[in-house]
Amino acid sequence: MESKLPVLPNAGIAHFFIMHTSAALTLNENADPSVRIDFESFMNRIVPDGDIVFIHRDEGSDDMSAHLKSSILGAAITIPIVNGRLHLGTWQGIYLCEFRNHGEARKIFVTIMGE
């Protein structure tokens, strides 16, 4: 996937929006890889693929569960820009959460405002 990174202003905000209904964006700890494993395990426990209550299964057993997980976490995050850099906490990282078992390329629209 091609990545086009924008030039950041000295101060402002960056708004990230994922243009899909079966993936999400969120912030979380990004120092220890076990956090991502636990994160995925928990999401799969609260919204399991193939739950018998789901009617919408057009694209497989992970179809409706992916839509629900996406809605729970959300499609957008906003991060401040300070000194020309994203101003994240020490351990924070941006997660692109893919909820389909065989997800395709994803598009993220970024809006940057600042001085």
Concatenating the DSSP letter of every residue in 28-75 gives EE-S-HHHHHHHHHHHHHHS-TT-TT----TT-TTHHHHHHHHHHH-S
| pLDDT 10s digits, 14-72 | 999 999 999 999 999 999 999 999 999 999 999 999 999 999 999 999 999 999 999 99
The correct answer on CATH 1.10.3720.10 for the domain covering 11-114 is no
Q: What is the pLDDT of residue 4?
A: 66
Give CA–CA dist 70/98, Å, rounded: 9
pTM for the full predicted model: 0.88
Query: Domain boundaries in the chain?
Result: 11-114
Q: What is the pLDDT of residue 11?
A: 95
DSSP 102: T
